[in-house]
Amino acid sequence: MTLSIRPELTTADQVLSSLVTQTKPEVTDADMMQAVRTLLIGLGEDPDREGLKDTPKRVMKALQFLTKGYHESLDELLNGAVFTEDANEMVLVRDIDIFSSCEHHILPIIGRAHVAYIPSGKVIGLSKVARICEMYARRLQVQERLTIQIADALQGLLKPRGVAVVIEATHMCMVMRGVQKPGSWTVTSAMRGAFADDARTREEFMNLIRHKPSFS
């Protein structure tokens, strides 16, 4: 049997989706390209020189791709891939690549997510765990919120005994500007249910994400 259950939307999600639907029709592609052109002029460039001629279009397309998660929903993404299964041991998907953009500077956040849950009657296709991470990453983010959104999505979908999400990431706004700290990593975590309540379960998860498999 296949079940698909919509998780509770957070208030932040509701605000965001109303913002998206309110603003989208009023801003055309031409408006966005014009905005990039204005930026180029403000930076002291000549937007009509050969190398920059198509840059406004390219920047717009790139930003649309990097934020395509605004136009995706959990329902569409899962497409019914929640299954009833009598499993109750930890499921861990680690080293999921994260390419996100910080909402303060629209610069890349690059890192990895490790996601675990302990099922309570329902499981999800493993590739869907990565797709959930990607959907939230492809929006303007702060790493803390991204971590929480992934944990809450799984908690809402599967009502598992616990969810753990750890993201390790480097922020280009810190590396390339500001404090200029190449090599600095930010680690965030969100623990729900058994992972929050039981130190041994949390420890098992932390050991598993530290472990390096011998085949890679």
Catalytic residue among 45, 72, 168, 173: 173
Query: CB nearest Zn ion: which residue?
Result: 173
Beta strand 2-3 pairing with 108-118:
unpaired
Contacts within 8 Å (CB) and 24+ apart, 53-57 = 56/32, 57/33
Catalytic residue among 102, 114, 149, 155: 102
Q: Which residues of 18-41 are buried (b: 16+ CB within 10 A; e: fewer)?
A: eeeeeeeeeeeeeebbeebbeebe
The site that binds Zn ion (CB under 5 A) totals a number of residues, namely 4
Q: Looking at 61, 105, 112, 159, which residue binds Zn ion (CB under 5 A)?
A: 105
Integer angstrom CA distances of residue 123 from 73, 95, 135, 189 = 19, 20, 19, 22
Q: Where are the beta strands (DSSP E) in 147-200?
A: 162-171, 186-193
Q: Looking at 102, 113, 133, 154, which residue binds Zn ion (CB under 5 A)?
A: 102
Nearer to Zn ion (CB atom), residue 92 or residue 175: 175
Does residue 112 interact with Zn ion by CB under 5 A?
no
Binding mask 155-174 for Zn ion (x = CB under 5 A): ------------------x-
Does residue 177 interact with Zn ion by CB under 5 A?
no
Q: How far is the CB of 146 from Zn ion (least distance, A)?
A: 13
The two three-digit tokens of residue 141, written as one number = 């983010």
Does residue 49 interact with Zn ion by CB under 5 A?
no
- Residues in contact with Zn ion by CB under 5 A are 102, 104-105, 173
The set of catalytic residues is: 102-105, 143, 171, 173
